[in-house]
Amino acid sequence: MKFVDEFRDAGVIHKAADEIRRLADLGRQYRFMEVCGGHTHAIYRFGLKDILPPNIDLVHGPGCPVCVLPMGRIDDGLSIAKGPNVIFTAFGDMMRVPGREGSPLEHKARGMDVRIVYSPSDALKLAQKNPDKHVLFFAIGFETTAPSTALTLMRAKALGVTNFSVFCNHVTIIPGIRAILDSPDMRIDAFIGPGHVSTVIGCRPYEWVARNEGKPIVVSGFEPVDVLQAVVMLLRQLKAGEAKVENQYKRVVPWEGNRAALKAMAEVFELRSYFEWRGMGFISQSALRIRDTYKDWDAEHRFAVPGVRVTDPKAAQCGEVLKGVLKPVQCKLFGKECTPERPVGALMVSSEGSCAAYYNYEHRKHETLTRIGAAV
């Protein structure tokens, strides 16, 4: 398959691994943060960790939008849906994420009208088909998904669909990276930059990371060859004493981003002063709110939102894992109280969550090997 097979070619993978071994200074320990949860899954799924030299540590970052959402926002969205004649809609990723009184799916089991949609425009169509109901779309995501929410709100306004609103939880990637770099317990040498977000924002917004923080950043794709090439590019920069932004994912990411998408976002959204990130606290200008010109479609304007604040269970270490301070397996609840079947934190259920990646690819592999070993 074009753009897949050549990025999974064993010969190219071995060449890249050889180049990494040649470039990595054995007397030095490297810590590279992959910002995006999609990279974390690729790293575990394809076993990339196992072919890197032991002195290169890949640290998982905060680039999973479901994971960074605090539990209180889930409760806030569900509290709106408790009202009469409301249909709660969200992406499938959100459905098993626990709020204080259970996940959206658990609320559905108790009788709430909860539906999975594949896009915000599906939610809008649902509103058009159900004029006697109010359809609430629980919007999450970084700049990757924010443009589709913006375009849907523009369409709702143009069509005059009034039984539709958005509970906006869109966050922006750059303040998240900034918060990681400001964290006193964090040491990162360089970043594997997020591929999906960058299709919208381009590469230019990362220039401050290189310029002000002296950290190389390489925007990367999600296939094994992409990630290994990104590591090669980072090592080359570090060897040369450079810190710049490079684009490994040129086949998808334009340097200047997607102008049409950015325009739609600017039309509909503005920055919030502060927004809470799970485990990372309140980060200034790190999230989007709906502009007053679209307030009739803003659930936070139309409904009384309780503004629930919930602290995570004491033993859960989602914040430390999100910041890359701990590996998933170092959380006290990993694989015991917290599993994909019975998640405590969103990192264990989201398709981009690092705990889910580690559990599904590493933990299960070890379990299987142990079983085979026991049987032999």
CB of 70 to ligand SF4, least distance (A): 13
Position with the least CB separation from ligand SF4: 345
In this complex, which beta carbon is closest to ligand SF4, that of residue 152 or of residue 317? Answer: 317
Nearest alpha-carbon partner for 135 in 118, 122, 146: 122
CB of 363 to ligand SF4, least distance (A): 10
Interface residues with ligand SF4 (CB under 6 A) are: 316-318, 321, 328, 331, 333-334, 338, 344-345, 347-348, 355
User: Which residues are CB-neighbours of 72 under 8 A, at least 6 positions away?
Assistant: 100, 276, 307, 308, 309, 310
In this complex, which beta carbon is closest to ligand SF4, that of residue 210 or of residue 316? Answer: 316
Tell me the CA distances in angstroms from 364 to 45, 212, 251, one per residue in order.
12, 41, 34
99 within 8 A of 345, measured Cβ to Cβ: no
CB of 248 to ligand SF4, least distance (A): 29
Give the distance from CA 65 to its chain's centroid. 4
CB of 350 to ligand SF4, least distance (A): 9
In this complex, which beta carbon is closest to ligand SF4, that of residue 141 or of residue 343? Answer: 343
- Report DSSP state, residue 48: H
* Cβ neighbours, 10 Å, residue 288: 25
Residue 102, beta-bridge partner list: 99
CB of 346 to ligand SF4, least distance (A): 7
Q: How far apart are CA 369 and CA 376, in angstroms?
A: 10
33 within 8 A of 192, measured Cβ to Cβ: yes
In this complex, which beta carbon is closest to ligand SF4, that of residue 237 or of residue 317? Answer: 317
In this complex, which beta carbon is closest to ligand SF4, that of residue 144 or of residue 317? Answer: 317
Question: What's the distance, Cα to Cα, between the start and end of the chain in Å?
Answer: 38
Nearest alpha-carbon partner for 273 in 283, 282, 285, 281: 285
CB of 337 to ligand SF4, least distance (A): 8
CB of 327 to ligand SF4, least distance (A): 10
Q: Which residue has the tokens 């900034």?
A: 178
In this complex, which beta carbon is closest to ligand SF4, that of residue 197 or of residue 349? Answer: 349
In this complex, which beta carbon is closest to ligand SF4, that of residue 336 or of residue 365? Answer: 336
